[in-house]
A and B are shown apart, each in its own frame.
With several copies, the nearest count.
Chain A
């Protein structure tokens, strides 16, 4: 019986909540959800010590359907919510799942600092090159000409090179995947979760309802595994690979960049140590009061 329960825990299904998912049939985000559940299952993740934080968007509904603790926050604000959570509770495993509008448009002020600070978070963007939940406006990753509802003659903006910017902003793990290849997505998530420091995984994830151009088919033919000889420790090489992807017909799939440097949590621990930290409940308030008595130095 106990054996059964344990075995049950190992299956991906055990990592779902009992809230039924509500995406359009065929939505690319299902692939990501399944990959996530499989990654959890493979690692026998303790879902009670794991939090999935998201913003607002179709994709950001993900934590509602998943078994771990979750926080479906506000549009664009998943990363800073996760940052505070991680600083205060470094013992938690925290994943952050976002949409492209969520992370790169309204949330665009929040990924650079967590990347630069190398917070130990795993961020997954379900990038469908559109705003799904608000019914099809251009996102920063939409192609030129994309028929967003607020672009009467089609998108006029160059799309954003999100992989290159992640490298430039200091993320220490930068990868791309495609929800049409759930096994690859799973591998990237596993690698990202294993990585100490900020992991950024951009998953191309078709919006079957609105994005009639970039379908599963379309992307399938355009994904290209990162070459074997690519040096993942070389920022410039990673940047070049990302720029090449912007041409549209050789979208890199795999790890573009990976590096090691102290995490923000390491820094926080160092600050506390330097300041002589004691456990939270053992603080000596009287000593603090003594230090501000009249005549105290």
Chain B
């Protein structure tokens, strides 16, 4: 029997909500299931409402889904927040019956597990409350407890066998309570573990670091900022294994400046940050554009504006990535929609940056940064890696022309150490040999050159679509929203609805040809995005004149498939 179950764990930050989800995910992946997680918590270190959700399936998981099947509430606040979602068929597991009271929920199986009580009174370790809950969950739904125990063992054995045993005991206490009071839940049952697929378990931001490594990146300069820090942390664990380095700079400006310095000298390099950091880095990004230095900038978006909501989902940095930096500054913007994308789009970002010797933004976001998926192990032999066009001195006395005017606009680049390749890079307007120059001719030819490079950039990055050749409604989406759209599409196509979807990876320059071709297929266009202004919709309209119907949310949470389906239905597909 094919399964597709989503378990949500909710409670106070610091009570093991997040780690419980991680254990479930790890063990399910080991047990051969597809997994995807969703997490949400406040910016404060401790306290506040936290949520960790794991979806398990036999088939490829497209999104976090519409909600949950089973919710485990560690405290009353969690129950209060989630109770309105307890529609018939769902299951509630909660810290009851004594900690707090619940209302009557028709058609909902409610299991009171005295997690706090058992942890405190029986186990004398309040900290193991979450393990009591997990034990109960395993017992209720037949979750593969062996693989859960293995995950727990591997995590805690570094600390001590005693801690492992304490956790085992908590698991068992939770399970025992279920056995004594309820027995198995009749609605949801996990099948037997099967053979693990050839996958790797990766978190969104970790996938960016892996993609960078695979693309040949050996330097990352950054300053910590939520939710981007974990890109740098992941990179700091692997780059130094291959003669690379992650530099924690004094601020964001120094982070990107050092990255530009490393790239100038010949090392593929990136920086990572979130919105406030891009603000600060933008001047240096402009220098990379002008001096034609490859640069990858990962922007892990969070809720804006300003400090906003550091741990919340939003897709509102697109305008900035497309248009920040003064002057006419060429750049490209890519966005990742899921964990696999984080890996491959990072490689795309490096390829574009290297090919065009310019800054390339890679957009992800707070929700995706934490999303964990089991993704197919990348086949490195199939991945194309592009390196910058290098200058080769022919030994003649001719002075090297760093900004040589070529048909493509791309000029061969030398690195310090290259014989005959000396020049002085500059952010001033310049002539071919890099000498500053502001003549009318220099301005025109150099501006033309820099823009000529990316005239056909759209052709470099495939823009996929889905659905019938003619559709009543066509959905254009980007970033994490594409996941909700993918799942919505699966449902709608299954229902026989005439709906199509376009999944751009390159957002800017807007893939005009793909958008226009797609628009020609559809009667109406819908553009759902998680921002107020309709940023991608506006960029598309600016580039093509095509005005999409907009569906904007700005509530700190990602789209769910159901609201896309609902909107498409309203539009009459």
Which A residues are closer than 8 A to B by beta carbons?
Answer: 17-19, 22-25, 47-53, 56, 58, 63-64, 66-77, 80-89, 91-92, 105-106, 108-110, 112-113, 131-135, 137-138, 140, 148-152, 209, 268, 271-272, 275-283, 285-286, 288-289, 292-295, 297
Total contacting residues, chain B, CB less than 8 A: 92
Asked if B218 CB lies within 8 Å of chain A CBs, one says yes
- Across-interface contacts of B269 in A (CB, < 8 A): 84, 88
Additional A-B contact list (12), CB under 8 Å, known A152-B237, A289-B378 = A51-B416, A77-B284, A83-B261, A84-B247, A91-B417, A108-B250, A133-B45, A149-B229, A279-B243, A280-B242, A294-B32, A297-B154
- Across-interface contacts of A148 in B (CB, < 8 A): 248
Name 9 interchain pairs, CB-CB below 8 A, sorted by A: A25-B46, A51-B416, A74-B284, A74-B307, A76-B251, A84-B219, A88-B265, A132-B45, A294-B374
- Across-interface contacts of B254 in A (CB, < 8 A): 77, 80, 83, 109-110, 113
Within 8 A of A (CB), among B316-368: none
- The answer to whether B240 touches A271 (Cβ under 8 A) is yes
- The answer to whether B253 touches A77 (Cβ under 8 A) is yes
Instruction: Say whether chain A's binding surface is mostly helix, strand, loop, or mixed.
Output: loop
- The answer to whether B265 touches A292 (Cβ under 8 A) is no
Complex CA distance for A22 and B242, rounded to whole angstroms: 41
- Across-interface contacts of A105 in B (CB, < 8 A): 223, 250-251
- Across-interface contacts of A17 in B (CB, < 8 A): 422, 424
Asked if B85 CB lies within 8 Å of chain A CBs, one says no
- Across-interface contacts of A66 in B (CB, < 8 A): 424
Complex CA distance for A185 and B260, rounded to whole angstroms: 30
- The answer to whether B427 touches A73 (Cβ under 8 A) is yes
Nearest B residue to A58 via CB reads: B45
Within 8 A of A (CB), among B384-442: 399, 416-428, 433, 435-436
* Contact pattern, B 374-386, Cβ under 8 Å of A = 1, otherwise 0: 1001101000000
- Across-interface contacts of A209 in B (CB, < 8 A): 45-46
- The answer to whether A63 touches B229 (Cβ under 8 A) is no
Asked if B249 CB lies within 8 Å of chain A CBs, one says yes
Contact A80:B257 (CB < 8 A) given known A110-B250, A131-B224: yes
- Across-interface contacts of B26 in A (CB, < 8 A): 294
- Across-interface contacts of B154 in A (CB, < 8 A): 297
Nearest B residue to A51 via CB reads: B416
- The answer to whether B30 touches A72 (Cβ under 8 A) is no
Contact A294:B201 (CB < 8 A) given known A80-B254, A88-B265, A106-B252: yes
From B196, B251, B378, B399, contact of A293 by CB (8 A): B196
Q: Which 5 pairs between the two chains have the least Cβ-Cβ distance?
A: A84-B258, A70-B424, A84-B261, A283-B242, A80-B257
- Across-interface contacts of B243 in A (CB, < 8 A): 272, 277-280
- The answer to whether B241 touches A283 (Cβ under 8 A) is yes
- Across-interface contacts of A92 in B (CB, < 8 A): 265, 416-417
Question: What's the minimum C-beta distance from B543 to chain A, rounded to whole angstroms?
Answer: 30
Nearest A residue to B147 via CB reads: A295
Nearest A residue to B283 via CB reads: A74
- The answer to whether A73 touches B287 (Cβ under 8 A) is yes
From B202, B261, B417, contact of A82 by CB (8 A): B261
Asked if B200 CB lies within 8 Å of chain A CBs, one says yes
- The answer to whether B380 touches A285 (Cβ under 8 A) is yes
- The answer to whether A150 touches B246 (Cβ under 8 A) is yes
Interface hub of A81, A108, A286 (most chain B Cβ within 10 A) = A81
Asked if B238 CB lies within 8 Å of chain A CBs, one says yes
Question: What's the minimum C-beta distance from B148 to chain A, rounded to whole angstroms?
Answer: 12
Complex CA distance for A280 and B242, rounded to whole angstroms: 4
- The answer to whether A83 touches B422 (Cβ under 8 A) is no
- Across-interface contacts of B416 in A (CB, < 8 A): 48-51, 69, 85, 89, 92
Complex CA distance for A18 and B435, rounded to whole angstroms: 9
Asked if B232 CB lies within 8 Å of chain A CBs, one says yes
Asked if B233 CB lies within 8 Å of chain A CBs, one says yes
Complex CA distance for A297 and B152, rounded to whole angstroms: 11
Question: What's the minimum C-beta distance from B309 to chain A, rounded to whole angstroms?
Answer: 13
- The answer to whether B226 touches A134 (Cβ under 8 A) is yes
Complex CA distance for A73 and B252, rounded to whole angstroms: 16
- Across-interface contacts of B221 in A (CB, < 8 A): 80, 84
Asked if B150 CB lies within 8 Å of chain A CBs, one says yes
Question: What's the minimum C-beta distance from A160 to chain B, rounded to whole angstroms?
Answer: 10
Question: What's the minimum C-beta distance from B342 to chain A, rounded to whole angstroms?
Answer: 14
- The answer to whether A271 touches B245 (Cβ under 8 A) is yes
Contact A69:B422 (CB < 8 A) given known A83-B261, A87-B245, A131-B224: yes
Asked if B551 CB lies within 8 Å of chain A CBs, one says no
Contact A85:B30 (CB < 8 A) given known A48-B416, A150-B232: no
Asked if B259 CB lies within 8 Å of chain A CBs, one says yes
From A84, A109, A150, A272, contact of B224 by CB (8 A): A150
From B44, B46, B224, B261, contact of A53 by CB (8 A): B261
From A80, A113, A131, A275, contact of B241 by CB (8 A): A275
Question: What's the minimum C-beta distance from B37 to chain A, rounded to whole angstroms?
Answer: 14
- Across-interface contacts of A112 in B (CB, < 8 A): 250
- The answer to whether A80 touches B242 (Cβ under 8 A) is no
Question: What's the minimum C-beta distance from B181 to chain A, rounded to whole angstroms?
Answer: 32
- Across-interface contacts of A134 in B (CB, < 8 A): 224-226, 229
Asked if B370 CB lies within 8 Å of chain A CBs, one says no
- Across-interface contacts of A68 in B (CB, < 8 A): 422
